Amino acid sequence: MADFSNQVTFITGAGSGIGRATALAFAQAGAQVVVADVNETNGQQTVAEILQLGREARFIACDVANPDDVEKAVKYTIEQFGRLDIGINNAGIGGKYARLVDQTFDDWNRMLAVNLSGVFYCMQSEIRQMLVQGGGKIVNLSSIAGVRGLVKAAPYTAAKHGVIGLTKTAALEYVRHNIRVNAVCPVYTHSAMVDELINSSPDMENRLRRAIPIGRFGQPEEIAQAILWLCSDENAFCTGQAIQMDGGLTAG
């Protein structure tokens, strides 16, 4: 396991799913963790689980669609721990499962506000701090929908493609400043978001599982381990990449 002792990790959407699993994984590896989430109950639960591990953690309420919230959350991280070594931009929403012409302007705008603009706001604040302190690592959560089309999810697919574009551009702009930026692209992974999709149709779970060659959904802890690897010193030569965690879906 990589050692993140004395490193400070800021994670959005850390109240559940991949975000919570990632927060716990970093804590287990020695990091101090700032848990950012719109849901205070869930966020505080993540903090409580980290404290039970004997590690340090703080919670801050943060709506990533609000740039002022993001700026305050990053400033809070610095106030609490003095620096920011790792930014994990995980917060996101699933959106409405409908064909493109049935998506409303509100559906579109909300999706981009959270899943794309939210990543942009986070990276801006994180990178400003990392430039001051001489480096850092960022991992953005895209999706398998960031590298291929996804029927009945046009806003989500567009946003997740955009996350990869932001990741690659930021990686090129800041690689000489000792800042590495990568993304992970999970296939359907057990979470509240995927549960909502499953519940939209009686046969949805089987349909989604059949599409994955490995024959099952991902586990949040599996995605978390990929994120830790991307942030580790052993992976210091990797930047600007979108790592597909998809059970073989895009191999064919």
Give me the mean pLDDT over the 203-211 stretch: 83
- Give CA separation, 4 vs 31, 132, 137, 234, in Å: 5, 20, 12, 12
Q: Which two tokens stand for residue 99?
A: 């064909």
125-144 pLDDT per residue, tens: 999 999 999 999 999 999 99
Whether 174 sits among the annotated catalytic residues: the reply is no
Alpha carbon 141 to its chain's center? 3
For residue 101, with 0-12 CB atoms within 10 Å meaning exposed, 13-18 middle and 19 or more buried, which class applies?
A: exposed
Query: Poorest-confidence range of 33-37, 104-108, 190-194, 245-249?
Result: 190-194
Percentage, residues of the chain above pLDDT 70: 100
Name the more confident of 117 and 96: 117
Which residue is catalytic, options 76, 121, 156, 188?
156
pTM of the full structure: 0.95
Domains of the chain: 8-188+219-245 (3.40.50.720)
